[in-house]
């Protein structure tokens, strides 16, 4: 029984290491792709400067570079976390091997001690003092097994010693790799800081430009349309999945009936999570705020005083400090992380029953697609938006394909 349990433990350790290693390899590929994109943009920026292109185009490319560098830093952070997980696993393996080695040594030492204390007869004496031939055969077999067991124990001790040396090498290598990741992260942070300074210089030049204001409005309009399409598509997928689940349950019931068996429903991970979370609709007027701050741009239609154009805000804009923690307003599943020009990095949470919340202008994102989050859990930080000196979080609530006024959902 112990051997079977040990086998499954070792198997799970190997699987865990493979899973962590796969994450590290995927991040390495992602980093390479991101760096290639940054180099391409760097080349484009130089070409634009040489050709004296409009400052709006230069600004747009700085925005792309800043966004990509932020993604690089986020990926490096994930890679660091994966490496730390791998290091912890190696430390566990090392400690386990060292413990096993000590146990084996102790068993072997006790056995040698017993032999010395009893001053056991030589193998030949044991055989010669046998009363009859069958007893002599039994003693011979016992001596053989004893000798064989000692040999196996010595071999196992040597194997464990080799394993410990290998684990120590892996541990040292992983520590070195972690140092390199931290060094690379420091370099990218410095690059990001420099890009933000250059971006700010260009931004200050164009902020008073009417074209810039118009472009900003157009970006937000396009982002709102794009977000509406995304929500509609997500709702379409959700309804299709519900229909599939319903069909599967009906089929399982039919098979159970045909086989004269009692049907027992097996809940999916999603179903279990949202059953425990409770209904989102019951939280109207009770949801905690995604950030601490005040509403600077309300839900609904707004007229621009400079351009005399009317735009619709499909959510609310909350003024807060740059770098403030953005929190999930309720339990939910991360259904999408994307970038929308005008809204920046955007996170969409699914709260079941057709309810979604949207968080835009987010940086340092700490969650991943398809992960589950609890109410109040930090999902990122408020980024520095190009048209404000302070941080602004754009927040939306959707029911199916309909926009909701977030103020009606947040606690007063």
> pLDDT of 68-114, one tens digit each?
777 777 777 777 777 788 778 878 887 887 787 787 777 767 765 65
Residues 327 and 354 in one domain: yes
Q: Is residue 62 part of a domain?
A: yes
Residues 393/317, Cβ–Cβ less than 8 Å:
yes
pLDDT above 80 (res 170): no
pLDDT above 80 (res 2): no
pLDDT above 80 (res 316): yes
Residues 154 and 294 in one domain: no
Per DSSP, which regions of 234-363 are E strands? 294-297, 300-303, 310-313, 316-320, 325-327, 332-340, 344-350, 355-360, 362-363
Residues 385/402, Cβ–Cβ less than 8 Å:
no
Q: What is the pLDDT of residue 359?
A: 97
CA distances from 280 to 64, 81, 254, 376 (A): 36, 32, 33, 14
Q: Is residue 140 part of a domain?
A: yes
Please report where in the chains the tokens 């991040």 appear, as a residue.
27
Q: Is residue 88 part of a domain?
A: yes
Output 330 or 167, whichever has higher pLDDT.
Answer: 330
Q: Is residue 247 part of a domain?
A: yes
Q: Is residue 2 part of a domain?
A: no
Residues 287 and 359 in one domain: yes
Output 45 or 317, whichever has higher pLDDT.
Answer: 317
Q: What is the pLDDT of residue 290?
A: 97
CA distances from 366 to 236, 241, 326, 338, 363 (A): 27, 27, 10, 14, 9
Instruction: Give the domain extent around 390.
Output: 210-261+276-408
Residues 254 and 334 in one domain: yes
For residue 356, the SS3 value is strand
Number of domains in the chain: 2
Residues 89 and 193 in one domain: yes
Residues 181 and 243 in one domain: no
**Other residues' Cβ atoms within 10 Å of the Cβ of residue 136:** 15
Residues 122 and 231 in one domain: no
Residues 200 and 217 in one domain: no
């Amino acid at each position: 029984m112990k051997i079977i349990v040990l086998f499954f433990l070792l198997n799970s350790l190997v699987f865990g290491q493979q899973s962590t290693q796969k994450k590290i390899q995927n991040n390495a590929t992602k980093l390479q792709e991101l760096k290639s994109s940054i180099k391409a943009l760097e080349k484009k920026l130089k070409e634009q400067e040489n050709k004296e292109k409009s400052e709006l185009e230069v600004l747009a490319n700085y925005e792309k570079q800043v966004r990509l560098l932020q993604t690089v830093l986020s990926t490096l952070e994930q890679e660091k976390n994966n490496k730390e997980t791998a290091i912890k696993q190696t430390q566990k393996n090392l400690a386990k091997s060292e413990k096993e080695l000590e146990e084996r040594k102790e068993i072997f030492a006790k056995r040698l001690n017993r032999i010395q204390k009893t001053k056991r007869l030589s193998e030949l004496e044991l055989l010669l003092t046998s009363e009859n031939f069958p007893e002599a055969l039994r003693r011979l077999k016992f001596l053989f097994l004893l000798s064989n067991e000692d040999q196996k124990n010595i071999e196992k001790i040597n194997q464990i010693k080799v394993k410990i040396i290998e684990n120590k090498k892996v541990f040292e290598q992983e520590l070195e790799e972690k140092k390199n990741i931290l060094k690379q992260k420091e370099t990218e942070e410095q690059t990001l800081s420099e890009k933000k300074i250059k971006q700010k210089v260009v931004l200050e030049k164009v902020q008073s430009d009417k074209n810039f204001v118009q472009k900003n409005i157009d970006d937000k309009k396009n982002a709102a349309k794009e977000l509406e399409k995304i929500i509609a598509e997500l709702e379409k997928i959700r309804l299709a999945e519900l229909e599939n689940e319903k069909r599967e349950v009906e089929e399982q019931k039919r098979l159970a009936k045909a086989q004269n068996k009692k049907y027992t429903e097996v809940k999916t991970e999603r179903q279990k999570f949202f059953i425990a979370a409770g209904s989102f609709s019951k939280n109207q007027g009770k949801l905690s705020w995604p950030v601490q701050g005040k509403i600077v741009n309300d839900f609904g239609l707004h007229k621009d005083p400079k351009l005399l154009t009317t735009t619709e805000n499909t959510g609310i804009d909350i003024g807060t400090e740059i770098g403030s923690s953005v929190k999930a307003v309720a339990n939910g599943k991360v259904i999408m992380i994307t970038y929308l020009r005008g809204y920046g990095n955007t996170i969409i949470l699914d709260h079941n029953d057709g309810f979604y919340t949207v968080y835009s202008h987010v940086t340092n994102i700490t969650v991943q697609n398809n992960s589950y989050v609890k109410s109040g859990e930090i999902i990122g930080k408020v980024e520095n938006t190009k048209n404000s000196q302070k941080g602004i979080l754009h927040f939306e609530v959707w029911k199916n394909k309909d926009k909701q006024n977030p103020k009606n959902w947040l606690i007063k």
